């Protein structure tokens, strides 16, 4: 049913994300190598994620069979994933937005989008069982204080995070943050600092050979990290 993550909807201005991604918006839209970004000017934060499907009619039928309520929109289908706004649209071949900086310092693609959940088993049933995403890893780590579920979606990951200390409840899930891949973490960090953003120094990531840095502002309220030293996601944190 789901072929890829087509785009994310972020509250705020395309101009802010032009600086963050190092790309020029076209008709108010931005796109990296694997995902697009759309904007809601009067809002803030990460608003929704929209998946691509090859056949909207078949997707609607399958969702109905799996007891997932959806409604038709101008772009495709809309549904709620226990509090998370989710869309489905027809699969298309949109080109990445033009770079406005040297390629090593620009954002190349999305590595993962993070959803926070108070109920990980519910998330497994919904994202795996009903939406059909491929659960590649289920990892609990007391050092992190979290249980992390990694669902493969094309060459990126929908990561579902559960705070172990808070226990399990029926409260809603919510979209939380983004991790972007960059070819050169040092060059990307230096570029954003020069643009006036508050960016941490690169540090070792969880994946062997990776480095990450945290972007503390200029993200329209979306918790954001940059990750370098990795290719397409193959599994692991």
The model's pTM is 0.93
71 C-beta neighbours (distance < 10 Å), count: 9
> How many of the other CB atoms lie within 10 Å of CB of 95?
8
Decide if 2 contacts 29 (C-beta within 8 A).
no
Average pLDDT along the chain: 94
Q: How far apart are CA 227 and CA 211, in angstroms?
A: 6
pLDDT computed for residue 231 by the predictor? 58
pLDDT digits (tens, 9 = 90+) for 137-183: 999 988 889 999 999 999 999 999 999 999 999 999 999 999 999 99
Q: What is the pLDDT of residues 82-116, one digit of tens each?
A: 999 999 999 888 899 999 999 999 999 999 999 99
């Amino acid at each position: 049913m789901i072929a890829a993550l087509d785009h994310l909807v972020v509250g705020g201005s395309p101009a802010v994300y032009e600086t963050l991604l190092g790309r020029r918006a076209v008709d108010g839209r931005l796109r990296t190598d694997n995902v697009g970004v759309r904007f809601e000017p009067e809002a803030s934060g990460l608003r929704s994620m929209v998946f691509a499907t090859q056949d909207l009619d078949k997707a609607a039928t399958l969702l109905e069979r799996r007891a997932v309520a959806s409604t038709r929109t101008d772009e495709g289908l809309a549904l709620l994933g226990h509090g998370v706004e989710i869309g489905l649209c027809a699969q298309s071949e949109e080109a990445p937005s033009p770079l406005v900086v040297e390629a090593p310092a620009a954002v190349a693609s999305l590595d993962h989008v993070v959803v926070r959940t108070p109920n990980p088993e519910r998330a497994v049933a919904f994202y795996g069982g009903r939406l059909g995403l491929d659960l590649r890893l289920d990892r609990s780590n007391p050092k992190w204080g979290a249980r992390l579920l990694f669902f493969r979606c094309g060459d990126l990951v929908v990561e579902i995070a559960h705070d172990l200390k808070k226990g399990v409840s029926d409260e809603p899930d919510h979209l939380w943050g983004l991790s972007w891949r960059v070819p050169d973490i040092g060059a990307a960090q230096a570029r954003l600092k020069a643009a006036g953003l508050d960016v941490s120094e690169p540090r070792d990531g969880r994946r062997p050979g990776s480095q990450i840095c945290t972007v503390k502002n200029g993200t329209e309220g979306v918790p954001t990290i940059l990750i370098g030293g990795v290719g397409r996601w193959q599994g692991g944190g």
